[in-house]
Amino acid sequence: MSPLLRIENLSVTFATRAGPIEALRGIDLTVGAGQTLGIVGESGSGKSVTAFATTRLLDRAGRIAGGRILFKGQDVSRLSGKEMQALHGAAISMIFQNPRAALNPIRTVGLQLADALRAHRDLSAAAARARALDLLKAVLIRDPERRLDAYPHELSGGMCQRVMIALAVACEPALLIADEPTTGLDVTTQKTVMDLLARIAAERGMAMILITHDLGLAAKYCGRVVVMERGRLVEEAAPGRLFAHPQHAYTKRLVAASPTPNSTLADLVGETRPAGSGIPAAPHPAPPRGTALLLEVQDLVKRYGNAAAVDGISLRMRPGESLGLVGESGSGKSTTSRLICRLIDPSEGTILFDGQSIGDVPARDFHRSELRRAIQIVFQDPNDSLNPRFSAFDSIAQPLKRLTGLRGAALRARVMESAERSGLGPDLIDRFPHQLSGGQKARIGIARAIAVRPRFLILDEPTAALDVSVQAMILHLLDLLRREDDLAFLFVSHDLNVVRMMCERTIVLQNGRVVEEGASETLFARPQSAYARELLAAIPHFDPGAPLAATA
C-alpha cells in the first residue's frame, strides 16, 4: 500500500536580495494514513518550510526547486491553483503557530467555521452554523453557543488554537500538519490542546505531522520522529530510541540541550562537571543566615481597573540569591517583575531594596534614582527590546552613559568588557540587531544589563524566544556571571525545568497570588499545592521508556 504522503528529494529555495538561499536540500519522508510523524529541529532547520511546501503555502519568494510531493499518489507540487484549493482543508489542513493571528480578527468564530465548511460542501448558512456548533463542541470549547458569535480577540490563546483546530478538521482532511501548535501557550494549555489534537486525529483516523522544537512534545505525541538540521533530515526513528540513543551528532547535541526533570546546567552544554556533581542544580552556596535582606516585598498589589494582576505578593531575597517566579500567563509573574524593577507603579504594598523603600518612587522618576544602577532587567524578546537603529555597541553604551557618566575610552573599555563577558565577540560589536542571530541579540541584552554592575538582575523569560541549544549556552552564561559578580537573580519563566536549574528558591504564582514557595529541589520533587502539581505534570518529558500517548 502506498503511503498517504511521500516526499521525495524535495528542495526549496528562497529568493533573497543576497541571492537564492536553499531552505530544503533534498529531503525524503513518508507518512502513512493515520500515522503521527514529528519533525523536530531548531529555527532555520527547514521544518516549517517542509510544511508550507507540502501545502503549497510558501511565501512568494519561496519556490519548490526540485523533488516530488506525492499525496495519495498525486504530485502536489504540479497541481494548479484551483486543484490545490480543492485539496486545502478538505484533504490537507494546517494548524499554525500564534493562533490569535491565524484567525480573521473581524469575523466571528462561527462565520469563519462556516466559511471553512462551505468552501468544500454545499451547505445552507443555517446548516453550516449548526455544523460549526458541533465542531466547537468537538474541540471542547465551553459555552459553544455563545462562542459562535465571539470574535478572536474575545478568546484566550488556548481557545483560539482550539478554534483553529476546529477549522482545520472541519472538512475531515486525511492529513493534518500542525506547525508549532502550542508555542506561546502555557504548559497546562499546551497539554490540553495537544491531548485534544491527538484524540481528534485518532478518532477521525487522520494522519498528523507535528512540527515542534520541543523534543518532549514530539516524544509524547508522535509515533515516529525525524530530526532536521539546515534543510536536511539527519535522523529518523521512534522517539524512545531516538532520544535515548541518538546517533547523529546534531541529534545528540539537541537532546543534551533540552532541559529535562533531572538535567543540570552542565548537562545542557555537554560539559562534564568536576567531581561532586552528584547534587543536580545546586548552583550557589546559600549565603550565611543573618545576612541583611537585599529585597523585601510586602503585600504588593497592582490593579488594572477592577482586576488585580498582582494581588498581595510578598517575597524576600538575600544578596546573591536566585529566586524563580513561575506560573501561567495571567498569573502576574511579569507584572511582579516589572513592579520590582520599577517600570510600573504598584497600587499598594511596599518594596524595600537594601533597606530603602523604592516602591513609592514613581516609576517615571526611578531612572534618576541611585538604585537604578543596582537593579537591571533582561527582557524577554531579544528583537523588540533592542533599538533597530542602534549598533550592539550603542545599545550597551547608552545606559552606561546615563547611569555611570563614563565617557570616551573608559566607556569603550567597559562596553567591550561587558560584551566579552556576555560572549559577544569584538567583531560583532558594531553590528545592528538585524545582522545578528537571536542568541547574539540575547547576549546584547545581558551585556547591557551587567555593564552598569548591578547587584540585582531581573530576568523576564530571557530564553523564551531562543532555540534549545542557544538557550543552554545563555543559561550557562547567566549562571557564570551570577557567580562571578555575586548577583541576585529574579528569574521569571514559564519553563519549570529551566527555573529548577537556575534558582535555589522558587515561588509559584496563580491569579496574582503566591500558591507555593520553597527550595527549588523540594518544590519540584514534592510539590505541595495542587496547582504546582498540575503545572509539573503538564510538562512533556522524553524518558526513554515512557509510554506513548498516541501510538501510530
Partner 1 sequence: MRTSLGATTGRAARRLLSSAPALIGVLVFTFLLMRVLPGDPAVFFASGPNAGQAEIEAVRKQMGLDRPIPEQLLRYLGDVGTGQLGRSMTTGQPVMKDLRERLPASLELTFAALLIALTLSIPLGILAALRPGSAVDHGVRLLCSLGVCVPTFVSGLLLIYVFYYLLGFAPDPTGRLDVFAAAPPGITGFLLIDFALTGDWEGWRAAAAQLVLPAVTMALFVIAPLARITRASMLAVLGSDFIRTARSLGLSRTQIVVTYALRNAILPVLTIAGIVFSTMLGANVLVEKVFSWPGVASYALDALLSSDYAPVQGFVLLMAVIFVAVNLVVDLLYGLADPRVSIS
Stretch that binds partner 1, among 82-90, 258-266, 475-483, 498-506 (CB under 8 A): 82-90
CB-CB contact of 224 with 217 (8 Å): no
Q: Which is nearer to partner 1, 123 or 238 (CB)?
A: 123
Task: Calculate the dihedral angle through the C-alpha atoms of 543, 547, 550, 552, rounding to the nearest 10 degrees.
Answer: 100
Strand 232-237 vs strand 224-229: parallel, antiparallel, or unpaired? antiparallel
Q: Cα-atom radius of gyration of the chain, to the nearest Å?
A: 25
Looking at 10, 102, 377, 488, which residue binds partner 1 (CB under 8 A)? 102
The secondary structure element, H or E, covering residue 318 is: none
Looking at 8, 22, 115, 354, which residue binds partner 1 (CB under 8 A)? 115
The secondary structure element, H or E, covering residue 12 is: strand 5-16
Residue 293 binds partner 1 (CB under 8 A): no
What is the amino acid identity at position 516?
A: E
Residue 15 binds partner 1 (CB under 8 A): no
CB-CB contact of 9 with 65 (8 Å): no
Looking at 37, 116, 502, 509, which residue binds partner 1 (CB under 8 A)? 116
Q: Which is nearer to partner 1, 102 or 198 (CB)?
A: 102
Query: For the sheet containing 62-71, what is the strand order?
Result: 19-31, 5-16, 62-71, 74-75
Looking at 151, 366, 390, 432, which residue binds partner 1 (CB under 8 A)? 151
**Of 114, 170, 115, the residue nearest 138 (C-alpha):** 170
Q: Which is nearer to partner 1, 119 or 546 (CB)?
A: 119
Cβ–Cβ contacts within 10 Å for residue 415, how many? 25
Q: Which three cell numbers, joined as nine digits, stand for 472?
A: 543552554
Report DSSP state, residue 88. Answer: B
Q: Which is nearer to partner 1, 55 or 391 (CB)?
A: 55
Looking at 33, 65, 70, 90, which residue binds partner 1 (CB under 8 A)? 90
Residue 237 binds partner 1 (CB under 8 A): no
DSSP E strand boundaries for 56-206: 62-71, 74-75, 92-95, 175-179
Task: Give the three-class secondary structure for 124.
Answer: coil
Looking at 6, 47, 120, 129, which residue binds partner 1 (CB under 8 A)? 120
Binding mask 26-55 for partner 1 (x = CB under 8 A): -----------------------------x
CB-CB contact of 111 with 148 (8 Å): no
Binding residues for partner 1, rule CB under 8 A, total 31
**Of 461, 436, 459, 463, the residue nearest 449 (C-alpha):** 459
Residue 545 binds partner 1 (CB under 8 A): no
Residue 137 binds partner 1 (CB under 8 A): no
Query: For the sheet containing 488-492, what is the strand order?
Result: 375-378, 456-460, 488-492, 322-326, 505-510, 513-519
Q: Which is nearer to partner 1, 123 or 237 (CB)?
A: 123
Looking at 10, 53, 103, 257, which residue binds partner 1 (CB under 8 A)? 103
Residue 88 binds partner 1 (CB under 8 A): yes
CB-CB contact of 167 with 82 (8 Å): no
Residue 98 binds partner 1 (CB under 8 A): yes
Q: How far is the CB of 148 from partner 1 (least distance, A)?
A: 14
Q: Which is nearer to partner 1, 164 or 234 (CB)?
A: 164
Half-sphere exposure of 486 (CA within 13 A, CB side): 6
Q: How far is the CB of 161 from partner 1 (least distance, A)?
A: 12
Residue 89 binds partner 1 (CB under 8 A): yes
Q: How far is the CB of 119 from partner 1 (least distance, A)?
A: 5
Looking at 1, 18, 106, 409, which residue binds partner 1 (CB under 8 A)? 106
Binding residues for partner 1 (CB under 8 A)? 55, 57, 81, 85-90, 93-94, 96, 98, 101-107, 115-116, 119-120, 151, 153, 164, 167-168, 170-171
